[in-house]
Structure 1
């Protein structure tokens, strides 16, 4: 019997379920919902609801984080 090595997907998904996003980033589903409610994350850009399931666009969320880092903060 030989051991198998996990294989990374050939194409990284752009959209993942909110639970998977939580596993990857630590951002809770509740936080995702709050960002949608406040208009911080936009449906169709950062998030999507398909068949009553909440998805997060990993690339858009990552870009949003990068943008937050580049904005000056008041002292």
Structure 2
């Protein structure tokens, strides 16, 4: 049986994650978007973001569903454009 040699990975390459998380901690969402955890709490309080859809509190930690939050933002933009 012949052995084959596999080439070494070149140095300096970065590996991109193959999946993007759907849920992130509010602190990470803040890093990504600039929307503070306080703003997320305010949107929950006002009923703009729904628990289990846009955000969730698990073990006293606030999570944001990035996809649903982006969808909500797109809807806000389109509603404002229709108003003009």
TM-score (ref. length: structure 2): 0.80
Give the match's secondary structure for 2:63: strand
Residue in structure 2 matched with residue 48 of structure 1 by the alignment: 56
> Within 2, Cα distance between the matches of 1:50 and 1:40?
19
Q: Is 1:25 the equivalent of 2:40?
A: no
**Higher Rg of the two aligned structures:** 2
5+ long unaligned stretches in structure 2: 1-9
Aligned-residue RMSD, C-alpha: 1.6
The aligned residue for residue 59 of structure 1 is 67
Query: Post-superposition, which runs of at least 4 consecutive aligned residues in structure 1 deviate over 6 A?
Result: none
* Count of residue pairs the alignment pairs up: 74
CA distance in 2, matches of 1:20, 1:5: 24
Match of 1:36 in 2: 44
How far the C-alpha of 1:7 sits from its partner, in A, is 1.5
Q: Residue deviations 1:18-69, cap 9 Å, x none?
A: 0000000000110000000110000000001111110000000000000001
